[in-house]
Amino acid sequence: MSDNSLTRREAIGGAALGAGAAALGGTQAMAQAGSRKTFVLIHGAWHGGWCWRRVADRLEAKGHKVFAPSLTGLADRSHLLSLNVNLDTHITDIANMFKWEEIKDACLVAHSYGGWPCSGALEQIGDRVSSIVWLDAFLPKDGERGADAASEFSRKSLAEAVAKGEPGRRGPPAKAFGVVTEADQKWVDSKVTLQPNAIPMQPIKLTGARDKVAKKTYIRAPKYAQPAFDKALAECQADKSWATYVTNDAGHDVMVDAPDWLTDILIKHS
């Protein structure tokens, strides 16, 4: 796609590609090298790839390539929930998708809990990721466990579910995430599934691959109270290698509440 040869065959091919991009709402320029981006959108706890629908639609309409998988045991893969689904499972979900889909030069976006498996996956796929965006997400350090940084609600529900020997636990209602409209609250509540319990019990192993990514962005939605996210924002604001944003117009599920704004940020920092 970056070939600037003026042969008739390639000129015709370039015109066809430009027309295809325009049909998706892009422009002929979008079809040229460096314009079409690849985004990998990773959801948070209790969610699935469905939560990215609005953002994915907007990115694709602009001619970009989007992957928004559901991690093992959640959403359309909730039938795979078991006591064996741990942090390594989700790390492997992400790493294997990059490998089998041959994804390169991608923008990896992590929402909330997604900061854990995305951080772990970067240890394996760092050379395939050119930028990352952490969306109201955990920024774990080597050796930390999800249980150490979980909210009081999450710790309590985890303890209760583990005591019963259950493989997963229920999350809070969408209203607690700060989802803005009542219609969207009902939509989110209809989609969320159990979050695997073994995940927050496993320490993460990191060697600094996340820090080596060239372009890094952190977005905070403070309407959702989570000290770990406030700490992550402060760390990123103090680190010149990170760009940071704060939105008071959306709840924790920014991709649901403010898809246009978020899409613009992702494109700008991809």
112 assigned to active site? yes
Query: Token pair for residue 200?
Result: 């927050």
The total number of residues written for the chain in this structure? 270
Widest CA span in the chain = 69
* Among candidate residues 146, 128, 95, the one with its CA nearest the CA of residue 213: 128
Structure-token pair, residue 151: 């909210």
- Options 35, 70, 112, 270, the catalytic residue: 112
In this structure, are strands 215-220 and 129-135 parallel, antiparallel, or unpaired? Answer: parallel
Calpha distance 158→17 (Å, rounded): 50
Mark out the alpha helices in 101-215 (DSSP H runs).
115-125, 146-149, 152-163, 182-191
Catalytic residue positions, numbered: 112
